Structure 1
Amino acid sequence: MKPLPELDPTERWRLLLGEAGAVHLGAGSGTGPAMDRALAWLYGRNDPAQDGREPGDALDRHGGSEASQLTAPEWINHIHALFPKETIERLERDAVERYGVDEVVTNLDVLERATPNPALLQAVMRTKHLMNPQVLAMARKLVEKVVGELLDKLARDVQRAFSGARKPQPLSPRGAANQFAARATLQRNLRHYDAQHQRLVIQQPLFHVNSRRVLEPWQVFLLVDQSASMLGSVIHSAVTAACLWGLPGLKTHLITFDTEVVDLSDTVHDPVEVLMGVQLGGGTFIGKAVGYAAERISVPRRAIVVIVSDFYEGMSEHVLLGHVRALVAQGSTVLGLAALDERADPVYDRELAGKLVQAGAHVGAMTPGQLAAWLAEKLK
């Protein structure tokens, strides 16, 4: 899990005092203003200076160039990016129990009116543990709609990437009529063209040995870090795995991990089920997940292990590096993905990523479509 930025004493006082401290302490810098805005969105609701304004309207409304007011889903996504786990749990609990901010986690009417989009999907993923059964059922429908749209888009990219993954078909001078290779036969016998009679003499017909598509069986392991900072990657990894599932000659394994390893390969065809079962948070034991995958490889030279993580390893990095070296030595391919969302913003531990490259792994940032193209190239 990516470490959160340290705050100096001035920034801590700025967060404590809020807008009241801006005169003497300034507006702050770095993540400070965003943290202050997220706290004010919630705790400004009890401001006695509201003068009858509606809850959630405590922040001063005036013309200016500051960012627009947060919605509940945006606020949930912001606090998960800005604060440590203990603080997030306190903020969510206060929002629901103390301030009645129930737009996402308890209000069925609001969920029914909500427009499904990736931001709402992330908010649902982060708060589903707080939902009652009725709200959870409605949230699942939203997840199904957003995931369905992602699947439709990515499926086209996957089909495009794999459509050209064909092996050259061997030719033979003998074969059945339905195996006749017309183009190859013409090319091979052009030198026998009879210009006087304007005809081509076929001296050596050619036939396809096998006219069907040829694809050796491969295993692809998607190892996905499910710490809270990797939510976008978890979503897109589940969708990517579903698109890869069922491709001829390809067996897809989906494995999530924090300090424990969870094998979701049996439900890889159903990304909604995968996402509704994921438990975000916890530490990050990448080496443990890679070791788990290594034990399940059938043919090393036809195995690809994709590690989707920010590479902030929580256990000894020597375990991870040892597993990667062993995989590469036996002929397996290891790919480290620093990001797996539609933007592929690379935020990761570059030092450990560099050590993985030295151990023989490929490391980069790819969108799901780029990953599909990379896999297709490796499978040719």
Structure 2
Amino acid sequence: MTSERTRRWKLALGDDDMDGLGERDQRLSRALSALYETEGRKGRGGLGASSPKVSRWLGDIREFFPTPVVQIIQKDAFERLNLKALMLEPEFLETLEADVHLVADLISLRGAMPEKTMETARMVVNKVVDDLMKRLQSKTVERLTGAVNRSQRTHRPRHADIDWPRTIRANLRHYQQDFKTVVPETLIGFARKTRTRADLDHVMLCVDQSGSMASSVVYSSIFAAVMASIPVLSTKLVCFDTAIVDLTEDLSDPVKVLFGVQLGGGTDINAALAYCETKIDRPGKTHLVLVTDLYEGGDSASMLARVAALKQSGVNVIVLLALSDDGRPSYDVRHAGAIAAMDCPVFACTPDQFPDLMATALTKQDIGQWASANGIELVRGV
């Protein structure tokens, strides 16, 4: 009988001698060896280019591991074994575990997809978008609507509109010891005036769609679609590489937005910012969220000067080095430090943190303090 310790070592090392392992453990070992067998050792056949064989392998992986691990192994398979060609087959595509990375792969491959596969790809993308909307929409709408409403105060509120925490704080000096209560001489409430476009806060997401930013593009598109549905905000989405595409008119359909993105290519941040400048008519009410790793392929000096000019004009410039769950991003340290020195927050953000970030920005609170309170490390100015 193989001890548990020996069993684990055999599975971890992919030992050719599988004596003592049960049938299920042998299947598990073969499934991992097909992908992670080191060069120079006798292989067990690998995955090859057969769609049925890969589909069976994915079925085994899905049986042995939870979904998050399946997604990691699946991503490794695409990178190590060049399986992306198989994604052009709808039968194979249906077997994949749908996640943000798969959506990014589908977007990058869409130009090579036959029509029969494109329909399946749209179904997969739609499923991921629906899942992300369920996860992110409620919190985003609640936090941002509340943030905007609370930034509009009135001292003659109706009873239902009284902001009691602020009212109590404003009247503490009127505390009556005999009655153990506060007499609210001044009422503070949430305004309910009709807001014109000039009154709205404007949020512009300017997103780098070069290949390294793939998952950030997916999340940025989802958040832009959510924010566009909030009446108290005016939202724009601009994606760029060396070309610029304004997807603002498509924000009512997140799937259409994603299929309008062109992942890959170079990066011209300066040109993208120049375009955004033409769309800003109320700098003091505009929040420009630049999502990029700051590896500029265009004119770096002009890019930095343009950021400085936007900041000087009153635009709230925020640079997100990544908007994803992928961990610490790679970025241009020199450019990040130069922009941070302009008093613009520069950092990486997860999707779960983004609604609170935008609420902090809309209420004109200190983003640096918010980041520090949430364990987020900001780039220091140089």
Q: Same fold by TM-score, threshold 0.5 exceeded?
A: yes
Give the corresponding residue for 2:229.
Answer: 246
Q: 1:109 aligns with which of 76, 91, 94?
A: 91
C-alpha separation between the residues in 2 aligned to 1:253 and 1:181?
Answer: 32
Give the corresponding residue for 1:170.
Answer: 154
The answer to whether 1:233 aligns with 2:202 is: no
Q: 2:108 aligns with which of 117, 126, 135?
A: 126
Give the corresponding residue for 2:251.
Answer: 268
**How many pairs align?**
297
C-alpha separation between the residues in 2 aligned to 1:374 and 1:341?
Answer: 14
The answer to whether 1:370 aligns with 2:353 is: yes
Q: Letter of the aligned partner of 1:219 in structure 2?
A: H
Task: Give the CA deviation at 1:267.
Answer: 0.8
Q: 2:242 aligns with which of 236, 243, 259?
A: 259
Task: Give the CA deviation at 1:207.
Answer: 6.8
Q: 1:220 aligns with which of 188, 200, 203?
A: 203
Task: Give the CA deviation at 1:208.
Answer: 7.0
Judging changes above 3 Å, is the alpha-carbon distance between structure 1 residues 104 and 212 closer, same or farther for their aligned structure 2 residues?
same
Task: Give the CA deviation at 1:169.
Answer: 3.3
C-alpha separation between the residues in 1 aligned to 2:325 and 2:132?
Answer: 10
Secondary structure class of the residue paired with 1:314: coil
Give the corresponding residue for 1:152.
Answer: 134
Secondary structure class of the residue paired with 1:256: strand
Task: Give the CA deviation at 1:192.
Answer: 7.9
Judging changes above 3 Å, is the alpha-carbon distance between structure 1 residues 214 and 123 closer, same or farther for their aligned structure 2 residues?
same
C-alpha separation between the residues in 2 aligned to 1:53 and 1:343?
Answer: 27
Judging changes above 3 Å, is the alpha-carbon distance between structure 1 residues 74 and 124 closer, same or farther for their aligned structure 2 residues?
farther
User: Any idea what the Cα deviations from partners look like across 1:216-265, whole Å, max 9, x if unmatched?
Assistant: 41111111111111111111111111121122321111111111111111
Give the corresponding residue for 2:66.
Answer: none
Task: Give the CA deviation at 1:214.
Answer: 8.3
Give the corresponding residue for 2:338.
Answer: 355
Q: Give the conservation status (yes or no) of the 8 Å contact 2:287–2:315.
A: yes
C-alpha separation between the residues in 1 aligned to 2:359 and 2:254?
Answer: 21
Judging changes above 3 Å, is the alpha-carbon distance between structure 1 residues 52 and 280 closer, same or farther for their aligned structure 2 residues?
closer
Q: 2:328 aligns with which of 337, 341, 345?
A: 345
Secondary structure class of the residue paired with 1:247: coil
Q: Give the conservation status (yes or no) of the 8 Å contact 1:167–1:214.
A: no
Please show how residues 70-85 of structure 1 align to structure 2 within 5 Å: 74-76=76-78, 78=79
Q: Percent identity?
A: 30
User: Any idea what the Cα deviations from partners look like across 1:348-378, whole Å, max 9, x if unmatched?
Assistant: 0111111112234221111123232122112
Secondary structure class of the residue paired with 1:348: coil
User: Any idea what the Cα deviations from partners look like across 1:256-291, whole Å, max 9, x if unmatched?
Assistant: 111111111111232211111222221100011011
Question: Structure 1: 5+ residue runs without aligned partners?
Answer: 1-39, 58-67, 80-90, 96-100
The answer to whether 1:294 aligns with 2:277 is: yes
C-alpha separation between the residues in 1 aligned to 2:346 and 2:216?
Answer: 15
C-alpha separation between the residues in 2 aligned to 1:153 and 1:365?
Answer: 20
Task: Give the CA deviation at 1:115.
Answer: 3.3
C-alpha separation between the residues in 2 aligned to 1:365 and 1:50?
Answer: 40
Give me the TM-score of the superposition, normalised by structure 1.
Answer: 0.66
C-alpha separation between the residues in 2 aligned to 1:263 and 1:269?
Answer: 14
User: Any idea what the Cα deviations from partners look like across 1:85-120, whole Å, max 9, x if unmatched?
Assistant: xxxxxx97xx7xxxxx85311x22222333323333
Question: Structure 2: 5+ residue runs without aligned partners?
Answer: 1-33, 51-69, 364-382
Q: Letter of the aligned partner of 1:346 in structure 2?
A: P
Give the corresponding residue for 2:294.
Answer: 311
Q: Give the conservation status (yes or no) of the 8 Å contact 2:161–2:190.
A: no
C-alpha separation between the residues in 1 aligned to 2:163 and 2:322?
Answer: 47
Give the corresponding residue for 1:32.
Answer: none
C-alpha separation between the residues in 2 aligned to 1:249 and 1:52?
Answer: 58
C-alpha separation between the residues in 2 aligned to 1:155 and 1:348?
Answer: 28
Q: RMSD across aligned C-alpha pairs, in angstroms?
A: 4.0
Judging changes above 3 Å, is the alpha-carbon distance between structure 1 residues 290 and 180 closer, same or farther for their aligned structure 2 residues?
closer
Task: Give the CA deviation at 1:206.
Answer: 6.8
Judging changes above 3 Å, is the alpha-carbon distance between structure 1 residues 315 and 337 closer, same or farther for their aligned structure 2 residues?
same
Structure 1 stretches of at least 4 aligned residues deviating more than 3 Å after TM superposition:
49-57, 70-76, 177-185, 187-195, 204-211, 213-216
Which protein shows a greater Rg?
A: 1
Judging changes above 3 Å, is the alpha-carbon distance between structure 1 residues 179 and 289 closer, same or farther for their aligned structure 2 residues?
same
Q: Give the conservation status (yes or no) of the 8 Å contact 2:201–2:286.
A: yes
C-alpha separation between the residues in 2 aligned to 1:274 and 1:291?
Answer: 22
C-alpha separation between the residues in 1 aligned to 2:125 and 2:341?
Answer: 40
